[in-house]
Chain A
Amino acid sequence: MTIQLIRDISDSSAYWGAAWVFGCFPDLHVVCDAPIGCYNLLGMAVTDYTDALPHMANLTPTSIREEDVINGTAQALVRTINDLRTLGALEGKRLVVVSTAESEMISADHGRLVKQLDPEANFFWSQSLDQDEWMGRERALAFAWEHYGQPYVQPNTPPRSPRLVNIIGPSLGCFNAPADLHEVRRLIEGVGGEINLVYPYESSLAATPQLADAAVSVVLYQEFGADLARTIGRPQLFAPFGVFGTTSFLRELGSLLGTPPAQVEAFIAHEKRTTLQPVWDLWRGPQSDWFATVDCAIVAGRSYVEGLQQFLGTELGMKVAWSSGRPRRDDEPDNIEIRRRLHAKAPAFVFGSINEKIYLAESGARASHYIPATFPGPVVRRTTGTPFMGYAGAANIMQEIVNRFYDMVFNFLPVEQVRPPAGPPGHGGPPPPPVATPAPSAETMPWSEAATTRLNLAIEQVPFLARISASRSLRQAAEQLARNRKLEAVSLEVVEEAISQGS
C-alpha cells in the first residue's frame, strides 16, 4: 500500500456530513462520541463560517478524555445522556449518537448501549475514518428514512397529490444552499408544482414519512441525495443550471406533474422577459464578446462543476481550462496538481474554495479573479440573491462575471506610470505624490528576436484583458533596464531580468 498525500483537504469526513444532515432537524438531538475538538470545530467554529449560524444548538459531545481513550467511551456517553436529560434538552426530541474518527479508532461501538439507555434512540456508526462527507450525508439520509420514515409508510402507497414535489439535499455545510433552494422552489412552483418537503433543511425528523406523499423528487445535488430519492421510488430530477438546462428541466418536470404544456411554455416565456432578460441584454451587448476571450477553472461540488461547465462552456462559449469536482474522480486534478497548475498558469476566473484562493495568492496571480463556489472557506451565502442554479443562477453568474471584467479593466488598463506609487496602500488621506520615475523614452528601442519571443511567451501567461497592460509595462521595464546599461538593444537577459523583477 502506498501512502497518498493530501494538500489542504477539500472534503470533510462522514461524521461531519452526517451531523450536518441530522443537525437540520429541530426535533432531534445529536450526541457525537468525540473529543472536544471534533465538537467545537464542527458545532461552533466551522458551521459559523459555512452557514452563518452562531453554533449548532442540537449537538453535544461526549468530550472524550485521555482515560476514555484507554477505558472506552461508554461512561462518558452515559454521563452525557444523563446530563442532557437533567437539563431537559431531550424532552420531545429523538436522540441519535454518532461515532467519530477517534471513537472508531478505539472501536467504541455503542449500538447496544444506546438502545439500553433509550429504546427510542439510535446509534449511527459514521465510518468517519474511511468515508467522506458526501457518503456521510447520503448514509444519514438513508438512516433517517430507514428508522423514522419507511416504518410509518404503507408499501405501495400512491402520492397524496400528483403535484407534490420533494426537494432533497439542502443541509448544513452546503455552499449557497439558501439561494439555490429559493430558485429551485420558484421554478417548481412556476410549472405548477407544490412543494412537499424540503428535506432535511426545512423538515423535522417526524415529518420524514411524508416524503412518500410527493409525486416527484428534485435532488438538489449530484453529490448526495439521489439514493434517498431512489428509495422513495418517485421519479427524480436533478436541479438544473443554465438557460437551456433549466428550460429542459422545466419541460420535463411539467410533464411529470401533468401540467399542461401551454402553462409551462407561458412560464418560460414570462421568465425570458423577467429573470432572464439581463442574460439576453448582456449577450447582445459587448460584454458577451469577452466570454470568448477568457478561460476559467472550476473547483466545486460535482453539480456546480457540471452546471458551470454547461452554462459557461457550452451555452456561453467560455473556455473551461480544467475542472475538479467533489467528490473527485481519479481523472481530475487533486489539490497538489491544482496548486501546480495555478502556479504555472492561472485562468482569468477561478471558481473554487479558499484553497484555490491561497494558491492564487502564493503565486501572486493578480490578474485572476477568484469566485467562491464551494467550501472550505468562510463566506456568508445566506440570502436568496446569489444562486448558481436555474434561470436566476444564470443571470447571477453572468452579472458576477461581467462585474469582474469591469474590475479587471479598472485594475489593468494602462495608466501613465511605469511603477505604482510607493507608500502604504489604503490608509485614507490624500494620494501620495507621484514617484519620480524616468519618463519612458520616445525613441523606439530595438529588440532581439529571442527577447521578443520571451516577451510574447510571458504575455501568454497573462489573462486576455490584462495583456495590453502587461505587455506595455514589461516592455517599458525591459527597455529602461537596457538603457540603464547603455545597451543598444533589448536582449533576452534583460527581458528575463525584467520578468524576475515582477514587471
Chain B
Amino acid sequence: MADMIPLTPAANEKSQDDFKGGACKLHPQTMCPAFGALRVLARLEGAQPAMITDAGCLYGLTFVTHFYAARKSIVAPILGTAELSSGKLQEAALAAIAEAAKEQNVSVIPVISLCVAETAGLAEELLPSEVDGKPVVLVRVPAYAIHSHPEAKDIALAAVMRRFTEPTVEQEAGALTLLGEVFPADPLMLDAVLRKMGGRVMTTLPGRHVDELRLAGRAKAVAALHPFYRETVGLLRERGVPVISGAPVGAEGSAAWLRAIGAALELDEERVEQVAQAEEALARGFLASQPLKGATIMVSGYEGNEMLYARLLIEGGAHVPYISTSIGPNMLTAADEAWLKNHGTEAVIYRKAIEDDKAAMDRWSFDLVIGTTTLAAHAKELGIPSVYYTNMLSVRPLFLAGGMIASLSFVRELMNRKPLYERMVDFFTEPTA
C-alpha cells in the first residue's frame, strides 16, 4: 500500500444542487426479476422446478439458471397461442408438475408462474398441494409486477417458508438465523463471535435444503443481513421472531449489530459488550491507517447491500457520493441510508437505470467504480478502474473486522491497477488507420 496513486481532489466536486438521477430511465439495471426466485428455489436440494411460461422466457431463464444457480434439469409445458387461447394453461401446469414429480428424491416442486402465465391467469386453487407426497408450492413472479431480482428472491423464499416452517415449534435460546446470500465464510465468522457472547448461528437462509427452512422457525431471532427480504421478514415477525436489520459491517456497524443481536437473543450484556468492544477495537486498529483516504468511489449494485459496502468504504476513508440499487426503498434500508447521508453520501438512488449511473459519472470524478456489468464496462471504456459489483462481493468475506480488512485491502489493490485500465483504453480507442 506504499505506492499511493494520486487521487482526484474531493474539493473540486462540491455540488451546486441536489443530484436527481438521469433525465430518463430507459434501461433498468436488474436481472430478470424471476431469476431471483429460480436461483433461490433451484438451489434447494431435491427441488424440481416446473416453469410455466413461453419459450423465449424459458430459454433465457434456464440459460442463466443452469449457469449460475444450479445445474439442474428444468421442466416446462409448451405454451403457445393454441394452448393459451384454449384454456389449457391449467392442464399444462399439471402436466409439468407430474413430470417433475417423476424424479428421484424430490423435496419440493416449485411451480414458477411467469409473465404470460400470470397474464392468462393461473389459478392456485386448481393446483395440487402435493403429488405422491411431494409438496407443490406455487410461486408467482411476473417480471412486470416485481421490479428487481432480489425482490423475487424474497417472494420465493417466503413462499417456501410458509410451506415448510413449522408454526408452533419452541424457540431455541441463543439461536440466530441469518437471512441473506453471503460469502460462505461469513456465517462461520459470525458464529464464532456469537459463541463468545453465548449465542450461535442456527442456519443461513435462503437455505440449501427444506430442512433449513424448518430449522429457521426455531431460532430466537433472525438477522436480515440483506435489506430486501420484506415478505420473509414479515412472515417471521408474524410468528413472533424478532428481526434485526442491518449487518455487522465496519467498526461502528459491527459493534452496533452485535449489541442488537445480544439484546434480541437475551444474551449476557456484559459478555456482549466485551465482544463488541473487542471487535470495534480490532476494526479501528486497521482503520487508523485510512487505506482509502482521498479516494472517490461509486457503488452501483442490485440488492441494497451496496449500502453496507459503501459504509465500509467510507469508514476506510473513501468519499462515496453516489450509491444506486435496483430494489425499492423500505424500512430495512432506512438506517443504512441515514448513516450514509450523515457521512458524505449525497445521493442514494433506488430502482435505478443505467442513465442514472451515467449521470452520476458525469457529475463526480471517480477513482474506482464498483458497478453493474453495463456500468463497469462504461467505466472501463473511460479508463477508470472498475469491477462488477457481484464479482466484488461474492469472492471475499465482508462482515466484522476480518471481512472489513479483506474487503478494503482488495479495494486498495484495485485502485493501484489504474495504469492497466488506462493503457487498455489508450490502445483500444486509438483511431484505426
Enumerate chain A interface residues (CB-CB to B < 8 A).
1, 3-9, 11-16, 35-42, 44-46, 48-49, 54-55, 60-61, 63-66, 68-69, 80, 83-84, 86-87, 100-102, 104-106, 128-130, 132-133, 339, 354-355, 357-359, 361-362, 375-378
- If A87-B26, A358-B66 touch, whether A12 touches B88 (CB-CB below 8 Å) is no
The reply on B57 being an interface residue by CB < 8 A is: yes
Tell me whether A60 and B59 are in contact (CB under 8 A): no
A36 in contact with B147 (CB, 8 Å):
yes
State A104–B73 Cα separation when bound (angstroms): 28
In the assembled complex, the Cα of A287 lies from the Cα of B76 at a distance in Å of: 43
Contact among A41, A87, A105, A375 for B64, CB-based, below 8 A: A41
A83 and B24 within 8 A (CB): yes
Residues of A within 8 A of B373 (CB): 44, 48, 54-55
Docked complex Cα distance between A120 and B70 (Å): 45
Among the 9-residue stretches B31-39, B122-130, B163-171, B282-290, the one with 4 or more Cβ atoms under 8 Å from chain A is: B31-39
- A54–B57 CB distance below 8 A: no
B82 within 8 Å of A (CB atoms): yes
Contacts of A49 on B, CB cut-off 8 Å? Answer: 63, 67
**When each residue 65-106 of chain B gets 1 if its CB lies under 8 Å from chain A and 0 otherwise, what string results?**
011000111111111111110101001100110010000000
Given A36-B147, A48-B373, is A130 in contact with B63 using a C-beta cutoff of 8 Å? Answer: no
With both beta carbons as reference points, the residue of chain B lying nearest to A59 in the complex is identified as B27
Cα–Cα, bound, A60→B60 (Å): 17
Can you report 11 residue pairs joining A to B where beta carbons are below 8 Å apart? A6-B76, A11-B59, A16-B60, A36-B147, A37-B60, A37-B143, A45-B32, A66-B142, A87-B24, A102-B54, A129-B54
Task: State in angstroms the CA–CA spacing of A104 and B120 once bound together.
Answer: 12
Closest to B358 in A: A87
Tell me if B6 is interfacial: C-beta within 8 Å of chain A: no
Is the CB–CB distance between A40 and B32 below 8 Å?
yes
* B173 within 8 Å of A (CB atoms): no
Tell me if B275 counts as interface (CB < 8 A to partner A): no
Bound complex: CA A105 to CA B74 (Å): 23
Q: How far is the CA of A375 from the CA of B66 in the complex (A)?
A: 12
Contacts of A106 in B (CB 8 A): 119
Complex Cα spacing A41 to B54, Å:
14
Which single member of A37, A84, A339 contacts B33 (CB below 8 Å)?
A: A37
Q: Whole-angstrom distance from the CB of B345 to the nearest CB of chain A?
A: 26
Known: A5-B99, A9-B62, A102-B115. A15 touches B56 (CB 8 A): yes
Q: Do residues A361 and B57 form an inter-chain contact, with CB atoms below 8 A?
A: no
B116 at interface by CB-CB < 8 Å: yes
Most B Cβ at <10 Å: residue of A40, A65, A361: A40
Separation of A366 and B96 alpha carbons in the complex (Å):
30
- The 8 A CB mask of B1-29 against A (1 = contact, 0 = none) is 00000000000000000000001101110
Given A1-B86, A11-B59, A36-B32: A69 in contact with B78 (beta carbons within 8 A) = no
| Contact call A105/B116, Cβ cutoff below 8 A | yes
Q: How far is the CA of A129 from the CA of B89 in the complex (A)?
A: 14
Q: Across the interface, which residues of A come within 8 angstroms of B71, CB to CB?
A: 354, 357-358, 361
- Asked whether A86 lies within 8 Å of B23 as measured between CB atoms, the reply is yes
- Residue tally, chain B, CB below 8 Å to A: 58
B72 to chain A, nearest CB (A): 7
Interchain nearest-CB distance for A4 vs B (Å):
5
| Pairwise interchain contact B63-A376, C-beta atoms closer than 8 A | yes
Bound Cα distance A36, B151 (Å): 14
Cross-chain contact B60 with A8 (CB below 8 angstroms): no
> Assuming the A-B contacts A5-B99, A36-B33, A376-B63, are A63 and B28 also in contact, with contact meaning beta carbons closer than 8 angstroms in the complex?
yes
A3 touches B92 (CB 8 A): yes
Contact yes or no, B144 A35, CB < 8 A: yes
Residues of B within 8 A of A64 (CB): 144
> Given the complex of chains A and B, what is the CA–CA distance between A359 and B66 in angstroms?
12
| A359 with B73: CB separation less than 8 A | yes
Find the residue from B30, B34, B72, B116 having the highest chain A CB count within 10 A: B116
Which interface residue of A45, A49, A339 has the most chain B CB atoms within 10 A? A45
CA distance A102 to B54 in the complex (A): 9
Chain A proximity of B427: nearest CB distance (Å): 17
Shortest CB–CB separation between residue B71 and chain A, in angstroms?
Answer: 5
Interface of B is mostly: helix
Query: Which of A42, A55, A68 lies at the interface centre, i.e. has the most chain B CB atoms within 10 A of its CB?
Result: A55
Question: Main SS of the interface on chain A?
Answer: helix
Q: Mark B32-62, 1 if CB is under 8 A from A, else 0.
A: 1111000000000000000000111111111
Interface residue B331 (Cβ < 8 Å from any Cβ of A): no
B111 smallest CB distance to A (angstroms): 14
For A133, list chain B residues within 8 Å (CB).
59
Name the residue among A9, A105, A339 with the largest chain B CB count within 10 angstroms: A9
Cβ-defined contact, B74 with A7, below 8 A: yes
Contact digits for B220-254, partner A, Cβ 8 Å, 1 yes 0 no: 00000000000000000000000000000000000
How distant is the Cα of A498 from the Cα of B165 in the complex, in angstroms? 40
B63–A41 touching, CB < 8 Å? yes
Interface presence of B374 (CB below 8 A): yes
Bound state CA distance, A128 and B55, in angstroms?
8
User: B422 contacts the other chain (Cβ, under 8 Å)?
Assistant: no
- In the assembled complex, which residues on chain B have CB atoms less than 8 Å from the CB atom of A357? 71
Nearest CB in chain B: distance from A302 CB, A: 18
Given contacts A46-B59, A377-B63, 18 further A-B contacts (CB under 8 A): A3-B83, A4-B78, A5-B99, A9-B55, A13-B57, A38-B143, A39-B28, A40-B31, A41-B61, A55-B374, A55-B377, A60-B26, A86-B24, A101-B116, A105-B119, A354-B71, A355-B73, A375-B63
5 residue pairs, one from A and one from B, having the closest CB atoms = A41-B60, A37-B32, A13-B56, A37-B143, A12-B59
Distance, CA A67 to CA B42, complexed state (A): 30
Question: Do the beta carbons of A129 and B59 come within 8 Å of each other?
Answer: no
| CB <8 Å contact, A46 and B84 | no
From B73, B116, B142, B143, contact of A8 by CB (8 A): B73
B88 contacts which chain A residues (CB < 8 A)?
1, 3
Distance in Å: Cβ of B327 to nearest Cβ of chain A? 13
Complex-state Cα separation, A80 to B25, whole angstroms: 9
* B63 closest partner in A (C-beta): A376
* 8 Å CB contact of B81 from A40, A69, A129, A378: A129
Nearest chain A residue, comparing its CB with the CB of B117 = A105
CB <8 Å contact, A129 and B64: no
B355 within 8 A of A: yes
Task: Give the residues in chain A near B63, CB-CB below 8 Å.
Answer: 41, 45-46, 49, 354, 375-377
**Which residues of chain B from 352 to 390 have a CB within 8 Å of any chain A CB?**
355, 373-374, 377
Return the contact of A38 from the options B60, B73, B83, B96 (Cβ within 8 A): B60
- Contact check, A54 vs B374: say whether CB atoms are below 8 A apart: yes
**Residues of chain B contacted by A358 (CB below 8 angstroms):** 66, 71-73
Chain A residue numbers with a CB within 8 Å of B82 are: 1, 130
Contact B62 A132 (CB under 8 A): no
- A378–B28 alpha-carbon span in the complex (Å): 23
Q: How far is the CB of A22 from chain B (nearest CB, A)?
A: 15
Chain B, Cβ-Cβ closest to A136: B56
Report chain B residues within 8 Å CB of A36.
28, 30, 32-33, 143-144, 147
Residues in A neighbouring B119, C-beta threshold 8 A: 69, 102, 105-106
**B145 interfacial by beta-carbon distance below 8 Å:** yes
Output the least CB separation between B53 and chain A (Å): 8
Q: A83-B24, A83-B26, A129-B80 are in contact. Are A7 and B120 (CB under 8 A)?
A: no
A130 and B81 form a contact (CB under 8 A): yes
Cα distance A461–B319 when bound, in Å? Answer: 63
> Which chain B positions have C-beta within 8 A of A102?
54, 115-116, 119, 144
Q: Are B144 and A9 in contact, CB atoms less than 8 angstroms apart?
A: no
Q: Name the CB-closest residue of B to A84.
A: B26
Give, as a whole number of angstroms, the nearest-CB distance from A49 to chain B: 7
Q: In the complex, A101→B81 CA distance in Å?
A: 9
Q: State how many angstroms separate the Cβ of A33 from the closest Cβ of chain B.
A: 12
* Beta-carbon contact of B116 and A7 below 8 Å: no
